[in-house]
Homo-oligomer: A and B are copies of this chain.
Amino acid sequence: MAGLTMGSRMIYLDYAATTPVDAQVIELMNQCLGEDGDFANPSSLHGPGLAARARVEIARGHVAALLGAGSEEIVFTSGATEADNMAIRGGALYQAHRGRHIITSRSEHRAVLDSCKALEKEGFEVTWLSPAEQGRVSVAQLREALRPDTTLVSLMHVNNETGLIQDIQSLGALCREQGVLFHVDAAQSAGKLPIDLGRLPVDLMSFSAHKIYGPKGIGALFVRREPRCNLFPVMFGGGQEQGLRPGTLATHQIAGMGKAFELAATRMQADQARLVGLRQRLWQGLQKIGGVSANGALESCAPNILNVSFQGVEGESLMFGLTGLALSSGSACASSNREPSYVLRALGLDDQAAQASLRFSLGRSTGIEDIDAALAMLEEQLKRLRELAPPWVQ
Protein backbone atom coordinates (compact mmCIF):
# COMPACT_ATOMS: atom_id res chain seq x y z
CA MET A 1 0.00 0.00 0.00
CA ALA A 2 1.29 3.39 -1.01
CA GLY A 3 0.80 5.31 2.22
CA LEU A 4 -0.26 8.90 2.44
CA THR A 5 2.89 11.01 2.33
CA MET A 6 3.00 14.64 1.42
CA GLY A 7 5.74 17.00 0.29
CA SER A 8 9.03 15.71 1.64
CA ARG A 9 7.86 12.37 2.97
CA MET A 10 5.16 13.59 5.33
CA ILE A 11 3.31 10.69 6.90
CA TYR A 12 -0.31 11.51 7.67
CA LEU A 13 -1.50 9.91 10.90
CA ASP A 14 -4.26 12.37 11.68
CA TYR A 15 -7.30 10.65 10.14
CA ALA A 16 -9.34 11.36 13.27
CA ALA A 17 -8.90 15.10 12.63
CA THR A 18 -10.04 14.68 9.06
CA THR A 19 -9.71 12.28 6.17
CA PRO A 20 -8.94 12.90 2.52
CA VAL A 21 -12.04 12.62 0.36
CA ASP A 22 -12.40 9.29 -1.43
CA ALA A 23 -11.92 9.43 -5.20
CA GLN A 24 -15.41 8.04 -5.84
CA VAL A 25 -16.87 10.66 -3.53
CA ILE A 26 -15.01 13.42 -5.35
CA GLU A 27 -16.31 12.14 -8.65
CA LEU A 28 -19.90 12.20 -7.44
CA MET A 29 -19.50 15.66 -5.94
CA ASN A 30 -18.24 16.92 -9.27
CA GLN A 31 -21.42 15.68 -10.92
CA CYS A 32 -23.38 18.18 -8.84
CA LEU A 33 -21.39 21.34 -9.43
CA GLY A 34 -20.98 22.54 -12.98
CA GLU A 35 -23.32 23.58 -15.77
CA ASP A 36 -23.52 20.05 -17.07
CA GLY A 37 -24.22 18.61 -13.65
CA ASP A 38 -27.10 18.60 -11.21
CA PHE A 39 -26.31 22.03 -9.89
CA ALA A 40 -29.86 23.36 -9.51
CA ASN A 41 -31.49 24.19 -6.21
CA PRO A 42 -33.00 20.96 -4.79
CA SER A 43 -35.96 23.00 -3.55
CA SER A 44 -36.83 24.20 -7.05
CA LEU A 45 -39.79 22.44 -8.64
CA HIS A 46 -38.49 22.44 -12.21
CA GLY A 47 -36.73 19.52 -13.85
CA PRO A 48 -33.17 20.45 -12.89
CA GLY A 49 -34.34 21.10 -9.34
CA LEU A 50 -35.98 17.69 -9.15
CA ALA A 51 -32.80 16.07 -10.46
CA ALA A 52 -30.82 17.73 -7.69
CA ARG A 53 -33.46 16.72 -5.16
CA ALA A 54 -33.13 13.12 -6.32
CA ARG A 55 -29.39 13.26 -5.59
CA VAL A 56 -30.17 14.50 -2.09
CA GLU A 57 -32.67 11.76 -1.40
CA ILE A 58 -30.41 9.02 -2.69
CA ALA A 59 -27.72 10.27 -0.34
CA ARG A 60 -30.15 10.41 2.54
CA GLY A 61 -30.97 6.79 1.87
CA HIS A 62 -27.29 5.77 1.99
CA VAL A 63 -26.71 7.60 5.26
CA ALA A 64 -29.82 6.05 6.78
CA ALA A 65 -28.89 2.59 5.52
CA LEU A 66 -25.46 2.55 7.16
CA LEU A 67 -27.09 3.42 10.47
CA GLY A 68 -30.22 1.29 10.36
CA ALA A 69 -32.32 4.44 10.41
CA GLY A 70 -35.22 5.62 8.27
CA SER A 71 -34.50 8.22 5.58
CA GLU A 72 -37.00 10.57 7.16
CA GLU A 73 -34.96 10.43 10.37
CA ILE A 74 -31.88 11.96 8.76
CA VAL A 75 -31.53 15.76 8.82
CA PHE A 76 -28.55 17.18 6.95
CA THR A 77 -26.48 19.80 8.76
CA SER A 78 -23.21 21.63 8.17
CA GLY A 79 -21.36 19.07 10.29
CA ALA A 80 -21.35 17.23 13.58
CA THR A 81 -20.83 20.50 15.44
CA GLU A 82 -24.12 21.84 14.17
CA ALA A 83 -25.82 18.50 14.76
CA ASP A 84 -24.60 18.54 18.38
CA ASN A 85 -25.91 22.08 18.82
CA MET A 86 -29.27 21.16 17.32
CA ALA A 87 -29.66 18.07 19.42
CA ILE A 88 -28.64 19.54 22.74
CA ARG A 89 -29.99 23.04 22.45
CA GLY A 90 -33.01 22.02 20.41
CA GLY A 91 -33.83 19.06 22.63
CA ALA A 92 -33.37 20.92 25.90
CA LEU A 93 -35.42 23.91 24.76
CA TYR A 94 -38.23 21.73 23.43
CA GLN A 95 -38.39 19.85 26.73
CA ALA A 96 -37.90 22.92 28.91
CA HIS A 97 -41.47 22.76 30.22
CA ARG A 98 -40.72 19.28 31.62
CA GLY A 99 -37.46 20.15 33.30
CA ARG A 100 -34.21 22.03 32.96
CA HIS A 101 -31.58 19.50 33.91
CA ILE A 102 -29.22 17.86 31.43
CA ILE A 103 -26.33 15.46 31.85
CA THR A 104 -23.09 15.12 29.93
CA SER A 105 -19.49 14.19 30.64
CA ARG A 106 -16.27 16.15 30.93
CA SER A 107 -14.63 14.36 28.05
CA GLU A 108 -17.15 15.22 25.34
CA HIS A 109 -16.27 17.14 22.20
CA ARG A 110 -16.25 20.89 22.60
CA ALA A 111 -19.38 21.19 20.45
CA VAL A 112 -21.20 19.30 23.20
CA LEU A 113 -19.44 20.93 26.13
CA ASP A 114 -19.97 24.44 24.83
CA SER A 115 -23.60 23.80 23.88
CA CYS A 116 -24.22 22.64 27.44
CA LYS A 117 -22.34 25.61 28.90
CA ALA A 118 -24.45 27.98 26.83
CA LEU A 119 -27.60 26.37 28.24
CA GLU A 120 -26.15 26.66 31.72
CA LYS A 121 -25.91 30.42 31.21
CA GLU A 122 -29.57 30.43 30.24
CA GLY A 123 -30.66 28.85 33.47
CA PHE A 124 -30.40 25.15 32.69
CA GLU A 125 -28.61 22.94 35.18
CA VAL A 126 -25.90 20.63 33.86
CA THR A 127 -24.39 17.64 35.62
CA TRP A 128 -20.85 17.12 34.35
CA LEU A 129 -19.97 13.48 34.83
CA SER A 130 -16.32 12.68 35.47
CA PRO A 131 -15.70 9.50 33.53
CA ALA A 132 -14.10 6.70 35.52
CA GLU A 133 -11.18 4.58 34.37
CA GLN A 134 -10.21 5.23 30.75
CA GLY A 135 -12.96 7.75 30.26
CA ARG A 136 -15.86 5.36 30.56
CA VAL A 137 -19.18 6.56 31.98
CA SER A 138 -20.87 3.80 33.97
CA VAL A 139 -24.55 3.07 34.06
CA ALA A 140 -24.46 3.37 37.85
CA GLN A 141 -22.91 6.82 37.57
CA LEU A 142 -25.54 7.94 35.11
CA ARG A 143 -28.35 6.47 37.21
CA GLU A 144 -27.13 8.46 40.18
CA ALA A 145 -27.08 11.68 38.18
CA LEU A 146 -30.58 11.29 36.73
CA ARG A 147 -33.24 13.45 38.38
CA PRO A 148 -36.96 13.84 37.87
CA ASP A 149 -36.29 17.08 35.97
CA THR A 150 -33.60 15.58 33.72
CA THR A 151 -34.66 15.87 30.09
CA LEU A 152 -31.52 15.07 28.09
CA VAL A 153 -28.31 13.07 28.34
CA SER A 154 -25.49 13.63 25.84
CA LEU A 155 -22.60 11.19 25.69
CA MET A 156 -20.31 10.41 22.79
CA HIS A 157 -19.89 7.01 21.16
CA VAL A 158 -16.17 7.11 20.43
CA ASN A 159 -13.94 9.70 22.03
CA ASN A 160 -12.05 11.74 19.45
CA GLU A 161 -8.84 11.90 21.46
CA THR A 162 -8.51 8.47 23.01
CA GLY A 163 -10.79 6.39 20.82
CA LEU A 164 -12.58 5.02 23.91
CA ILE A 165 -15.87 3.34 23.03
CA GLN A 166 -18.72 4.24 25.33
CA ASP A 167 -21.37 1.62 26.09
CA ILE A 168 -24.20 3.60 24.54
CA GLN A 169 -26.48 0.54 24.47
CA SER A 170 -26.64 0.27 28.26
CA LEU A 171 -26.55 4.01 28.90
CA GLY A 172 -29.32 4.53 26.38
CA ALA A 173 -31.43 1.75 27.88
CA LEU A 174 -31.36 3.55 31.20
CA CYS A 175 -32.33 6.84 29.55
CA ARG A 176 -35.21 5.22 27.73
CA GLU A 177 -36.38 3.55 30.93
CA GLN A 178 -36.41 6.96 32.58
CA GLY A 179 -38.03 8.75 29.64
CA VAL A 180 -35.03 10.96 29.09
CA LEU A 181 -33.75 11.97 25.62
CA PHE A 182 -30.42 10.36 24.77
CA HIS A 183 -28.08 12.15 22.35
CA VAL A 184 -24.92 10.51 21.07
CA ASP A 185 -22.13 12.23 19.15
CA ALA A 186 -21.07 9.55 16.69
CA ALA A 187 -18.73 11.68 14.58
CA GLN A 188 -15.84 9.32 15.34
CA SER A 189 -17.72 6.04 15.20
CA ALA A 190 -20.01 6.16 12.17
CA GLY A 191 -18.55 4.07 9.41
CA LYS A 192 -15.99 2.60 11.80
CA LEU A 193 -18.11 0.68 14.27
CA PRO A 194 -21.43 -0.99 13.47
CA ILE A 195 -24.36 1.22 14.46
CA ASP A 196 -27.91 -0.08 14.25
CA LEU A 197 -30.35 2.63 15.22
CA GLY A 198 -33.14 0.17 14.68
CA ARG A 199 -32.05 -1.43 17.95
CA LEU A 200 -30.00 1.18 19.79
CA PRO A 201 -31.97 3.15 22.39
CA VAL A 202 -30.73 6.47 21.06
CA ASP A 203 -33.00 9.42 20.20
CA LEU A 204 -30.53 11.78 18.57
CA MET A 205 -27.21 11.01 16.94
CA SER A 206 -24.67 13.36 15.33
CA PHE A 207 -22.59 12.54 12.27
CA SER A 208 -19.89 14.16 10.18
CA ALA A 209 -18.82 13.24 6.65
CA HIS A 210 -15.21 14.33 6.80
CA LYS A 211 -14.19 11.72 9.33
CA ILE A 212 -14.98 8.92 6.89
CA TYR A 213 -13.63 10.09 3.53
CA GLY A 214 -16.48 12.48 2.78
CA PRO A 215 -16.29 16.26 2.44
CA LYS A 216 -15.92 18.74 5.28
CA GLY A 217 -18.82 21.07 5.99
CA ILE A 218 -21.56 18.47 5.88
CA GLY A 219 -23.02 16.23 8.55
CA ALA A 220 -26.32 14.97 9.78
CA LEU A 221 -28.48 14.58 12.81
CA PHE A 222 -30.54 11.46 13.33
CA VAL A 223 -33.87 12.43 14.88
CA ARG A 224 -35.91 9.41 15.93
CA ARG A 225 -39.49 9.14 14.72
CA GLU A 226 -40.70 6.33 16.99
CA PRO A 227 -40.89 7.29 19.76
CA ARG A 228 -40.95 10.70 18.19
CA CYS A 229 -38.22 13.08 19.24
CA ASN A 230 -39.09 16.75 18.83
CA LEU A 231 -36.63 19.60 18.64
CA PHE A 232 -36.75 23.34 18.77
CA PRO A 233 -34.75 24.58 15.75
CA VAL A 234 -31.54 26.51 16.39
CA MET A 235 -31.66 28.24 13.00
CA PHE A 236 -34.61 29.68 11.18
CA GLY A 237 -35.39 30.16 7.51
CA GLY A 238 -36.62 28.50 4.36
CA GLY A 239 -38.23 25.45 5.93
CA GLN A 240 -35.82 22.88 4.47
CA GLU A 241 -35.18 19.57 6.23
CA GLN A 242 -38.59 19.34 7.89
CA GLY A 243 -38.19 22.84 9.26
CA LEU A 244 -35.28 21.71 11.39
CA ARG A 245 -32.40 23.02 9.31
CA PRO A 246 -32.87 25.92 6.91
CA GLY A 247 -30.63 26.95 4.04
CA THR A 248 -30.24 25.84 0.43
CA LEU A 249 -29.39 22.15 0.39
CA ALA A 250 -25.79 21.73 -0.74
CA THR A 251 -26.31 18.95 -3.27
CA HIS A 252 -22.63 18.14 -3.87
CA GLN A 253 -21.91 18.02 -0.16
CA ILE A 254 -24.89 15.85 0.62
CA ALA A 255 -24.22 13.56 -2.33
CA GLY A 256 -20.61 13.29 -1.17
CA MET A 257 -21.66 12.35 2.33
CA GLY A 258 -24.07 9.77 0.96
CA LYS A 259 -21.35 8.17 -1.14
CA ALA A 260 -18.93 8.17 1.78
CA PHE A 261 -21.49 6.40 3.94
CA GLU A 262 -22.31 3.98 1.16
CA LEU A 263 -18.62 3.13 0.79
CA ALA A 264 -18.19 2.80 4.53
CA ALA A 265 -20.95 0.21 4.60
CA THR A 266 -19.00 -2.04 2.24
CA ARG A 267 -15.53 -1.30 3.56
CA MET A 268 -15.97 -0.99 7.29
CA GLN A 269 -15.18 -4.55 8.31
CA ALA A 270 -12.11 -5.03 6.16
CA ASP A 271 -10.81 -1.51 6.87
CA GLN A 272 -11.07 -1.92 10.58
CA ALA A 273 -9.54 -5.38 10.70
CA ARG A 274 -6.54 -4.01 8.83
CA LEU A 275 -6.27 -1.02 11.16
CA VAL A 276 -6.32 -3.23 14.25
CA GLY A 277 -3.23 -4.93 12.87
CA LEU A 278 -1.46 -1.70 12.04
CA ARG A 279 -2.25 -0.20 15.40
CA GLN A 280 -0.89 -3.31 17.08
CA ARG A 281 2.34 -2.98 15.13
CA LEU A 282 2.59 0.69 16.12
CA TRP A 283 1.95 -0.04 19.77
CA GLN A 284 4.46 -2.86 19.89
CA GLY A 285 7.06 -0.65 18.24
CA LEU A 286 6.42 2.12 20.73
CA GLN A 287 6.73 -0.25 23.65
CA LYS A 288 10.09 -1.36 22.28
CA ILE A 289 11.26 2.26 22.25
CA GLY A 290 10.07 2.49 25.85
CA GLY A 291 8.89 5.19 28.20
CA VAL A 292 5.39 5.12 26.75
CA SER A 293 1.91 4.48 28.12
CA ALA A 294 -1.34 4.09 26.24
CA ASN A 295 -4.18 6.39 27.22
CA GLY A 296 -6.91 3.81 27.02
CA ALA A 297 -6.80 0.04 26.77
CA LEU A 298 -6.47 -0.90 23.11
CA GLU A 299 -9.36 -3.35 23.19
CA SER A 300 -11.72 -0.67 24.55
CA CYS A 301 -10.85 1.80 21.82
CA ALA A 302 -11.82 2.29 18.20
CA PRO A 303 -9.29 0.45 16.06
CA ASN A 304 -8.10 3.56 14.23
CA ILE A 305 -6.95 5.54 17.26
CA LEU A 306 -4.00 5.14 19.60
CA ASN A 307 -3.28 7.83 22.16
CA VAL A 308 0.10 7.56 23.85
CA SER A 309 1.93 9.51 26.55
CA PHE A 310 5.70 9.81 26.26
CA GLN A 311 7.81 10.02 29.35
CA GLY A 312 10.87 12.23 29.60
CA VAL A 313 10.03 14.60 26.76
CA GLU A 314 8.11 17.84 26.59
CA GLY A 315 5.11 17.61 24.34
CA GLU A 316 5.56 20.61 22.14
CA SER A 317 9.17 19.85 21.34
CA LEU A 318 8.23 16.29 20.51
CA MET A 319 5.60 17.52 18.05
CA PHE A 320 7.98 20.13 16.64
CA GLY A 321 10.67 17.54 16.21
CA LEU A 322 8.46 15.17 14.28
CA THR A 323 8.56 17.18 11.06
CA GLY A 324 7.77 14.13 8.98
CA LEU A 325 4.62 13.20 10.86
CA ALA A 326 1.25 14.91 10.59
CA LEU A 327 -0.61 14.11 13.78
CA SER A 328 -2.32 15.78 16.70
CA SER A 329 -1.28 16.24 20.26
CA GLY A 330 -4.81 16.99 21.39
CA SER A 331 -8.03 16.98 19.43
CA ALA A 332 -7.70 18.81 16.15
CA CYS A 333 -10.02 21.53 17.32
CA ALA A 334 -8.09 22.11 20.47
CA SER A 335 -4.73 21.98 18.80
CA SER A 336 -4.67 25.64 17.77
CA ASN A 337 -4.30 26.61 21.37
CA ARG A 338 -1.66 25.29 23.70
CA GLU A 339 -3.80 24.19 26.56
CA PRO A 340 -3.29 20.58 27.50
CA SER A 341 -6.09 18.29 26.42
CA TYR A 342 -9.00 18.43 28.85
CA VAL A 343 -9.92 14.88 27.87
CA LEU A 344 -6.56 13.53 29.01
CA ARG A 345 -6.71 15.72 32.11
CA ALA A 346 -10.08 14.15 32.83
CA LEU A 347 -8.35 10.76 32.64
CA GLY A 348 -6.08 11.86 35.48
CA LEU A 349 -2.97 12.93 33.56
CA ASP A 350 -1.16 16.05 34.74
CA ASP A 351 -0.59 18.99 32.39
CA GLN A 352 2.84 17.85 31.27
CA ALA A 353 1.83 14.26 30.65
CA ALA A 354 -1.24 15.38 28.73
CA GLN A 355 0.91 17.65 26.62
CA ALA A 356 3.47 14.93 25.97
CA SER A 357 0.77 12.76 24.40
CA LEU A 358 0.23 12.07 20.75
CA ARG A 359 -2.90 10.86 19.04
CA PHE A 360 -2.02 8.46 16.26
CA SER A 361 -5.01 7.95 14.03
CA LEU A 362 -4.77 5.63 11.07
CA GLY A 363 -6.79 5.38 7.92
CA ARG A 364 -7.39 3.73 4.59
CA SER A 365 -4.07 4.76 3.09
CA THR A 366 -1.93 3.97 6.09
CA GLY A 367 0.47 1.15 5.30
CA ILE A 368 2.93 -0.94 7.25
CA GLU A 369 5.81 1.11 5.90
CA ASP A 370 4.14 4.28 7.24
CA ILE A 371 4.00 2.74 10.69
CA ASP A 372 7.62 1.65 10.49
CA ALA A 373 8.80 5.03 9.21
CA ALA A 374 6.82 6.79 11.91
CA LEU A 375 8.38 4.55 14.55
CA ALA A 376 11.86 5.33 13.23
CA MET A 377 11.22 9.07 13.39
CA LEU A 378 9.75 8.75 16.85
CA GLU A 379 12.66 6.69 18.10
CA GLU A 380 15.16 9.23 16.80
CA GLN A 381 13.42 12.26 18.29
CA LEU A 382 12.61 10.59 21.58
CA LYS A 383 16.21 9.50 22.01
CA ARG A 384 17.52 12.94 21.14
CA LEU A 385 15.10 14.91 23.29
CA ARG A 386 15.42 12.58 26.24
CA GLU A 387 19.20 12.96 26.08
CA LEU A 388 18.81 16.72 25.94
CA ALA A 389 16.66 16.76 29.07
CA PRO A 390 18.45 17.44 32.38
CA PRO A 391 18.41 14.19 34.35
CA TRP A 392 17.01 15.97 37.40
CA VAL A 393 13.70 16.74 35.65
CA GLN A 394 11.02 14.25 36.56
> By the criterion CB–CB under 8 Å, are B26 and A40 in contact?
no
> By the criterion CB–CB under 8 Å, are B237 and A110 in contact?
yes
> By the criterion CB–CB under 8 Å, are A78 and B12 in contact?
no
Contacts of A126 in B (CB 8 A): none
Q: Give chain A's interface secondary structure class.
A: loop
Interface size class of A (residues with CB under 8 A): 35 or more
A66 → B minimal CB distance (Å): 20
> By the criterion CB–CB under 8 Å, are A110 and B238 in contact?
yes
Of A6, A249, A328, most B-chain CB atoms within 10 Å: A6
> By the criterion CB–CB under 8 Å, are A23 and B34 in contact?
yes
A339 → B minimal CB distance (Å): 11
Q: Is A394's beta carbon under 8 Å from chain B?
A: no
| Stretch of A162-170, A172-180, A214-222, A304-312 contacting B (4+ beta carbons < 8 Å) | A214-222
Q: Is A92's beta carbon under 8 Å from chain B?
A: no
> By the criterion CB–CB under 8 Å, are A210 and B44 in contact?
no
Chain B residue with the shortest CB-CB distance to A22: B34
Of A17, A29, A46, A110, most B-chain CB atoms within 10 Å: A46
Chain B residue with the shortest CB-CB distance to A248: B216
Contacts of A234 in B (CB 8 A): 234-235
User: Among the listed B26, B247, B253, B336, which residue makes an inter-chain contact with A45, where contact means beta carbons less than 8 Å apart?
Assistant: B336
Contacts of A335 in B (CB 8 A): 43-45
Q: Is A319's beta carbon under 8 Å from chain B?
A: yes
A279 → B minimal CB distance (Å): 20
Contacts of A332 in B (CB 8 A): 41, 43-44, 49, 248
Using A20-B37, A78-B78 as known contacts, list a sample of 10 further A-B pairs with CB atoms less than 8 Å apart, ordered by residue number in A: A7-B47, A17-B43, A18-B39, A18-B40, A46-B327, A82-B235, A82-B247, A216-B248, A216-B252, A248-B332
Instruction: Write 9 A-B pairs (CB below 8 A) sorted by A numbering.
Output: A14-B41, A17-B41, A17-B44, A20-B37, A26-B34, A82-B235, A84-B237, A216-B251, A248-B332
Taking Cβ atoms with an 8 Å cutoff, the residues of A that contact B are 4, 6-7, 10, 12, 14, 17-21, 23, 26, 29-30, 33-35, 37, 39-41, 43-49, 78-82, 84-85, 109-111, 114-115, 117-118, 208, 210, 215-218, 233-240, 246-253, 319, 323, 325-328, 332-337, 365
